[in-house]
Structure 1
Amino acid sequence: MAPIDVDADALEAMAGGDPDEPVVMLNLLRYRETAQPGHGVDGLSGRQAYEVYGRRFACLHPRFGGEPVWMGRPSRSLIGGEAWDLVILVRYPTRRQFVEMLNDPDYQAIAPIRAAALADSRLIETRQLLPHS
């Protein structure tokens, strides 16, 4: 089974970090050809269902500060054979806000749409090493 849902142990470890540190989440996404039925996305492609999730996620932005800083479609993999449909970097002002978002009932209500849309994904916590220019 491809990883779609958050690993509870990894989230707990993340929550144990500096709660006030900014975090950028790397999202690697591969859509299903057809979204899994349910959650209001019946008959949609995986891409279309993910767009539904994205619009609903955008409504949460004011509460949790999740702001996409870069989004693009991968062209080719030069190392490794994985193929992705979309890459997104999302910045959160604090690690606490990201963790709170995942535990929030409003986010949990839309998370199944994300799962219905995706055949595979990676969600990787990153920390900035170089200062912003």
Structure 2
Amino acid sequence: MATVPNLEQFAHFAAATDDSPVVMLNLIKFSDRTEYAAYGAAVLTLVAHQGGRLLWHGEPRQTLIGEADWDYVALVEYPDRKAFLNMVTTPEYQRIHQHREAGIAHTVLLACDALAVA
């Protein structure tokens, strides 16, 4: 399974003209929790520098529907897609990205837009 977006996925995300906030839903299966912890501690500073914030994170306890085996779930909000793109293209992010890659066996990353509550 992939741990980084392919070029088509990245280009599609980057081409979006929407400037509303975006929440990134991270589903992660660890290969090395220590490596990912090093990434996680450093990336939150970079997220904050772009105006983003960690909304929620936790460990899944039980799958009720479907088949899933995730170790960690996080919701990270960015002011817009550009803020996320700015972050992942900084030299600082490139320096810590190795810890992410070493720490993740596989992942799903979904860009989510908010819907109005009825």
TM-score if structure 1 supplies the norm length? 0.81
5 Å-filtered alignment, 1:48-87, equals 48-87=34-73
Aligned equivalents of 2:102 and 2:109: distance in 1? 16
* Aligned counterpart, 1:36: none
Aligned equivalents of 1:48 and 1:79: distance in 2? 30
Cα offset, 1:56, TM superposition: 1.0
Aligned equivalents of 2:108 and 2:9: distance in 1? 13
5 Å-filtered alignment, 1:39-50, equals 46-50=32-36
Over 3 Å off, 4+ runs: none
Aligned-residue RMSD, C-alpha: 1.6
- Specify every segment of 5 or more residues in structure 1 that has no aligned partner in the other structure, as ranges: 33-45
Cα offset, 1:104, TM superposition: 1.7
Cα offset, 1:19, TM superposition: 4.8
Q: Once the two structures are aligned, what percentage of the paired residues are identical?
A: 35
Moved more, 23-32 or 96-105: 96-105
Secondary structure at the counterpart of residue 61 of structure 2: coil
* Aligned counterpart, 2:106: 120
Instruction: Tell me, yes or no, if the aligned pair for 2:47 and 2:87 is still in contact at 8 Å.
Output: no
Instruction: Tell me, yes or no, if the aligned pair for 1:64 and 1:92 is still in contact at 8 Å.
Output: yes
Instruction: Tell me, yes or no, if the aligned pair for 2:44 and 2:54 is still in contact at 8 Å.
Output: no
